[in-house]
Amino acid sequence: MKKEKYNVCVVGVGAVGEEMLRVLYQRKFPIGELKVLARRERDIVIDGRKYSVKEISPQAFESIDIALFAGTEGEKGAAVTYAKEAIARGAIVIDNGADFRMDPNVPLVVPEINPEDIKWHRGLIANPNCSTIQMVVALNPIHKIAKIKRVIVSSYQAASGAGRGPVEELKEQTKAILDGKDVGTPKNLPKRIGFNIFPHIGKFEALDYTSEEWKMAKETHKIMHDDKIAITATAVRVPIVNVHCESIYVQTEPHIAVEEIKRILRKAPGIILIDEPDPNAPDSDPTRRLYPMPIDADGKDEVFVGRIRQDPFVKNAFNLWVVADNLRKGAATNAVQIAECVISGS
């Protein structure tokens, strides 16, 4: 698919859909015609740019080269209904929803890791889960040097990972609590999110792990082409608007020194290493104690890594702290990067 310009369609204008439109513009994707589709027509404004949203239909995909479906966390996306319609009309579908990720006939892609999988697509490419993406970007460069055999991860996931409604609920609950008012019954999340955290993202499934936790294991196996890595996840919702954080414990088959891990990650694509704890720094100088935080990653496309520590009791094990913008690298940016790989032929 070699052209000077490509006709692009974004399906959905929730938090991820809006971010897709923003990322397409910021990364200067070579767009000919741009369509924005949703369940109902309306005009929206993003960063001062007006977009005319049209009602989705099979015919709307005529002449489209690339269709970006902005599925949200844990929900059935529009791709279930319309992906085949788009593909039949010549479009390549890149789906952010969960419906096709584990389909053996659909590549699941993080461009920094497995861009070669794009080449065997049949018109549909899946975008991984947000928490999976940032974890594998950090782990894969290490896995290439020192084979990983065990991962224990706890994810601390922002309200935006569940969509626009939970973000508004977080803001409303926070204001109510600060004003001394009752927050009422949660409408968008299973528990109160204002001034609270809870280990419940997705549906409870086998062995009482949630769907979000299983995604992190199964998707990692597929992306990294290694289903022998033992992965245990705990997914936690935290009361911040945007950016997911992960505490990751890793065991490798051979020993690998912390300095070697840092050297690998400094050179790895898509990663920014921030790891300068400086134990001698005075409390009055926090600029000398550096590690990634949500405020560092918000609005950024990279995965931030820090707090790399050797396990003091297990020679071939260490800890990582990984932070990334879940709406960008965890969703919209990764999808657009896939589209960039498609048009470049890589």
Q: Which residues are catalytic?
A: 130, 244
DSSP state of 184: -
Cα gap 210→15, rounded to integer Å = 23
Residue (of 322, 338, 302, 310) closest to 110 by Cα position: 338
Token couple for 309 = 């520590």
Mention every residue, 6+ apart, whose C-beta is less than 8 A from residue 326: 130, 131, 134, 157, 158, 160, 161, 242, 243, 244
The runs of H, that is alpha helices, within the chain are 15-26, 79-88, 130-145, 164-178, 211-224, 258-267, 294-297, 333-344
Structure tokens at 341: 């790989």
| 316 contact partners, CB below 8 Å, separation of at least 6 | 146, 251, 252, 253, 254, 255, 256
In DSSP terms, 116 is beta-bridged to none
Judged on CB neighbours under 10 Å (0-12, 13-18, 19+), 223 is buried
